[in-house]
Chain A
């Protein structure tokens, strides 16, 4: 047996030289590696603590400035919590009744949710249970595009398209009205509700669905009697998160809802929401040290507490739900 000795394999040579170069490469000392590992770990921990710092500073800033607001002579806590008259910019005596703004926020949120919740839930059921694949592939990007449109665009749409339409339908609508802002906020929340609720429906185990269908149920039976109850906590959490989003929505109400705070249930009227008031304060020429300037912080604190409570409730409900099936 003659072994071919003369021709060396080029790939082998390349591998050998590579191995040699790896072995000859000056290796970093273990201590240096360990040192850099610890350095990176510390840097990452700083990143993580930064997010905690954000929360702490939000609460800190809002609390200190709100206390400063309540130290003014013209402001009393009973007036703030017990009155629905919000007139910080109109002469004397000023009244700071937060309910004047909260009622506006609730009106807009109510209209938005009356639009977004049923439509979002039904679309989610359709996407999750009924829709054939092609329609899913067509609808989902559309919902993503709707979710990605900036809120100022929805504000423009509300003011320029929805309001004239409402005025055409019924003449009583003001130029700035709660209905048009509420509908636009509803359109904005619709994709949120839809995708969160669809996630909840999708995470119901397939066995439950198959069991219901196998017992002779129609898709509707399976959905209403089995899947919806199983996904209920996820859907409730989707609703809560959507409500939080609607309450915090700013640009639509700043453009379309007007700037007259009043406690009313009539959607044709001009109202002002908490966020709308903040925008009015920031955009106007208000001195940085007056009562009305600090009232912005009190309003922001109220808004923060409400949305935080809703978000936490939503997360807790969803957390419970996850434990059941994963």
Chain B
């Protein structure tokens, strides 16, 4: 009896165990199902990013490729959409970004070197260092439009330190020549009426100082005219209010009115420089520098951190000074990483629009910049300009501009990827 009793209890426990195990298995089944479903959701969501990219590129290419032409690359932004081109914007991008790279790279890599390679020993030093580090990570989060506002105040108008008056004469400048421009009498259709061989001509009288009052025309004054891109002296006659204008067409074309009011124009050399910088290329480059400096610092820091410290210790053991260690060992070893980060930062600078829009405004630029203070526009800004116009034709030109911009950026990214690949191979 007792035997069968234990059998029964054993049977019961076995049954209970089995059912428990079944329950558990059922539980694991449902958990497996959840896992399976979650994996499916994951795949779908991940596919979303691919779809978005394809859709984005597809819609832009579909709109932009028909308008891609050599006019777009070499032309000026004409009001007629079929003639419009982006050459001044492309040239402006090249100017601004190369100056920006020249200024930013030394400062950015220098800061990274300071933080990574010169660890301070004193307590105050380490406090300042951690402050700099915290500051850099905060700067990386500042919206670029705020940097634009800073650039507008600090570079364009230089805190109005140089003062502003109503003529816009301010600050100090080097490399500009000023002229007063007169037009001849022939530009008055009433005087040249019916006369053959009289054309409009412009004469330039040099001005000593920008703030001088307008030149008063005088007989025998030194005056120049542009002929074949050169300033040639000419002899002009001044016709007073009482005098009769000359009847000979050649003489008439060389005559100017004694009461004529000249227009002040300027000729700027390639080295033209002024303070404050104004809405010129240099302001744009320095503002972009503020935007990408934290990016370059952070990526250079990462590259420097990945250099094994045994290399440094070896060099130090051989008696190298700190800078000799950096220059001969650390920098060459970290160079590919630093270059990758810098290229990516530069591609960000090329695409950055908001700060440039704030400091340069929307202006109509027909020429590539000629000096550091020249007004300019950049490719993304030109795209913004075209996109915000109501006409459909400009939208397809904007799309074509985007294709060009994306082409530049993708080639930058490709270079960065190749560099990174090489670096990984080398370390392996």
Contacts and interface: CB of A to CB of B under 8 A. Distances in A.
Interface of A: 33-34, 36-37, 40-41, 43-45, 47-52, 54-55, 57-58, 61-62, 65, 119, 122-123, 125-127, 130-131, 135, 139, 141-146, 148-153, 155-157, 159-161, 187, 190-191, 194, 216-221, 241, 244-245, 247-251, 254-255, 275, 278-279, 282-283, 296-297, 300, 303-304, 307-308, 310-312, 314-315
Interface stretch (B65-73, B106-114, B209-217, B270-278): B106-114
A78 B113 CA distance: 47
B384 A152 contact: yes
A52 B135 contact: yes
Given A142-B50, A144-B413, A155-B384, A279 B60 contact: no
Contacts of A312: 138
B35 A219 contact: yes
Contact of A55 (B129, B135, B323, B413): B135
B282 interface: no
Contact of A150 (B39, B52, B153, B352): B352
B281 interface: no
A43 B39 CA distance: 54
B148 to A, nearest CB: 7
A124 to B, nearest CB: 10
Contacts of B150: 54, 57-58, 61-62
Given A54-B290, A151-B354, A275-B354, A308 B142 contact: yes
Given A58-B150, A156-B60, A279 B354 contact: yes
Contact of B380 (A36, A150, A191): A150
For chain B, what secondary structure do more than half of its interface residues adopt (helix, strand, loop), or is it mixed? helix
Interface in B369-428: 380, 383-384, 387-388, 395, 398-399, 402, 405-406, 409-410, 413, 417
Contacts of A249: 143
Given A55-B139, A255-B387, A278-B358, A122 B146 contact: no
Given A44-B113, A47-B107, A47-B114, A220 B358 contact: no
A307 to B, nearest CB: 6
Given A123-B46, A157-B56, A218-B32, A44 B154 contact: no
B63 interface: yes
A221 B27 CA distance: 12
Given A51-B135, A142-B50, A151 B351 contact: yes
B28 A216 contact: yes
B221 interface: no
Given A150-B350, A150-B409, 19 more contacts: A44-B110, A48-B111, A119-B45, A122-B46, A125-B42, A148-B344, A148-B351, A153-B351, A157-B60, A160-B399, A161-B56, A220-B34, A220-B39, A250-B144, A275-B354, A279-B145, A282-B357, A307-B146, A315-B134
Nearest to A40: B323
Contacts of A45: 114
A274 to B, nearest CB: 9
B341 interface: no
B232 interface: no
Contacts of A315: 134, 137-138
Nearest to A49: B132
B318 to A, nearest CB: 13
B52 A146 contact: yes
B17 interface: no
A156 B148 CA distance: 21
A44 B410 CA distance: 33
B136 interface: yes
B146 A300 contact: yes
A122 B132 CA distance: 35
Given A54-B139, A119-B45, A145 B110 contact: no
Interface in B28-49: 28, 31-32, 34-35, 38-39, 41-43, 45-46, 48-49
Contacts of A190: 49, 52
